[in-house]
């Protein structure tokens, strides 16, 4: 049951992010659900590999390169989900930052209840 709640929270965070960031578009709630599901899968499979490969750069930048990796994961998700469109990598980068902040806030709110 908690997995479904996490999926819904992440879908809501994606919807809020798409309303805040100009270059991110969601066409429907079902697109948000699919994007949240695929983003979770991409973060579980591809992100650890990318972080391992970019470890030296990440160390040199004191972890700031992780922001680029997060933006790339969001952009990859937009390429896999129809109805979830990101206009540019810069939008994906800013969107990843905003998405993580909103997702953290929503997770805290829904965990408290």
Among 58, 79, 75, smallest CA distance to 21 is for 75
Residues 84-109: b if buried by 16+ CB within 10 A, e if exposed:
bbbeeeebbbbbbbbbeebbeebeee
Domains in the chain: how many in total?
1
Residues 6+ apart with CB under 8 A from 78: 24, 35, 84, 85, 86, 92
Predicted pLDDT at 24:
97
pLDDT at 49: 97
94 and 21 Cβ atoms separated by less than 8 Å: yes
pTM of the model as a whole: 0.91
In three-state secondary structure terms, 109 is helix
Q: What is the mean pLDDT of each run of 10 residues along the chain (113 residues)?
A: 87 96 95 96 96 96 95 97 96 96 92 68
**CA–CA dist 7, 93 (Å, integer):** 21
What residues form DSSP beta bridges with 85? 25
| pLDDT score of 1 | 56
What pLDDT is attached to residue 110?
85
Range of the domain at 40: 2-112
Angle made by CA atoms 14, 80, 8, in degrees to the nearest 5: 30
């Amino acid at each position: 049951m908690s997995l479904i709640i996490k999926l819904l929270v992440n879908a809501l965070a994606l919807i809020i992010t798409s309303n805040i960031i100009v270059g991110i578009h969601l066409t429907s709630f079902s697109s948000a659900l699919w994007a949240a599901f695929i983003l979770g899968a991409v973060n579980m499979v591809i992100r650890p590999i990318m972080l391992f490969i970019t470890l030296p750069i990440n160390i040199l930048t004191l972890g700031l390169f992780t922001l680029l990796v997060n933006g790339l994961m969001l952009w990859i998700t937009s390429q896999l989900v129809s109805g979830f469109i990101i206009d540019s990598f810069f939008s994906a980068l800013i969107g990843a930052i905003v998405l993580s902040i909103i997702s953290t806030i929503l997770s805290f709110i829904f965990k408290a209840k």
